[in-house]
Amino acid sequence: MIKKYNIAIVGVTGVVGETMLSILEERNFPVNNLVLLASERSSGKEYSFKYQTLIVQTLNENSFNNIDIALFSAGGNVSKQYAQIAVESGCIVIDSSSAFRMDSDVPLVIPEINPEAIRTHKGILANPNCTTIVTLMALNPIRKFSRIKKIIASSYQAVSGAGQEGINELKKQNKAIVIGEKLQAKYFSHQIASNLIPKIDQMTENGFTGEEMKMVNETRKIFGDNDIKISVTCVRVPVYTAHSVAVTIETQKKIPINKVRELIENAEGIELLDEPSNEVYPMPMLAEGKDNCLVGRIREDLVFENGISLWVSGDQVKKGAALNAVQIAEKLIDE
């Protein structure tokens, strides 16, 4: 008989939380009892799960009694307040915020890349930043063939990466353009419709943003290589779902482009779309709703000696957040 587990989703009413709920059902995760948790203002909201109606409960210090695994997706402050309480209640936490990612005692996991890290957990496992996940899914097959020395990446990040508020703002601004009304920027620092904003998160002392430094630091931790030189520019774009990243890398040894395509085509969790002469390449509209990340525009770089340039698109709500968290839980119970 398959063992079943008591699961809690913290922050179920958010974009990622709702997606976690649907993925648990899609993948037939062995759920015994499912508890939906959110803030008091969302208490009482109803969701369906496997022909049941589940009612959202208010998150409190007693929410984790008899829970085996808690999927957190309610922001860093909530994670900092409640994750350790959950662990002390005998629960294992898989956290999707940035609260614990760089904690040396907390594994930062992409199951296709470093599943062995799960075994070292002390009650909390961290889900990487969505852009990090999408990017590293494309790079990992190459890294396994030859060490990556340098990474230069520019991200094109959908508004849903900023949550429901980001989605709502783009919808309102697009509507305002159509009907000729004045546009208002409330959630983002500038108009996002028909625009690009080259700043995500707060600025840091070195001139990079917090989002950019997340990619730098998380990549080194996940790949287990603190000597990789990495430079990132993160840009918010007027796309609803799916992040895209233009990446150039330098590898230790030269890899023929046909070999790169072969490595990517045979890798788990990614799909090769690389026929640009036939207009076949990854785009956000193709990645939306997909579990796999899409990789294409693979070519030999014109700057680095052993350089490779590529383009990747991935649904940052699914693989970049909710799906990756559920996959961590699946690996956890496999262990």
Sheet holding 92-95, edge to edge: 57-58, 31-38, 5-10, 69-72, 92-95, 124-126
Helix (H) or strand (E) holding 6: strand 5-10
The residue assigned the tokens 């030189």 is 229
Could you give the CA distance from residue 284 to residue 241 in angstroms, rounded to a whole number?
Answer: 7
Number of other CB atoms surrounding residue 75 within 10 Å: 16
Is 91 one of the catalytic residues?
A: no
Q: Which of 91, 121, 234, 243 is catalytic?
A: 243
Please state, in angstroms and as integers, the Cα–Cα distance from residue 204 to each residue in 213, 221, 232, following that order: 8, 20, 13
* Distance (Å, whole) CA 334 – CA 162: 32
Compute the distance between CA of residue 229 and CA of residue 149 in angstroms, rounded to an integer.
6
SS3 of residue 88 by DSSP: helix
Could you give the C-alpha distances from 230 to 70, 149, 314, in angstroms and in order? 33, 9, 20
The answer to whether 297 and 309 are in contact (CB under 8 A) is yes
Q: Among residues 91, 130, 234, 293, which one is catalytic? A: 130
293 is catalytic: no
- Within 10 A of 142 (CB to CB), how many other CB atoms are there? 22
Tokens describing residue 163: 């949550």
H-type alpha helices, 57-155:
76-88, 130-145
The encoded tokens of residue 167 equal 């989605």
Residue environment code for 272-301, b if the CB has 16+ CB neighbours within 10 A, otherwise e: bbbeeeeeebbbbebbbebebbbbbebbee
Active site residues: 130, 243
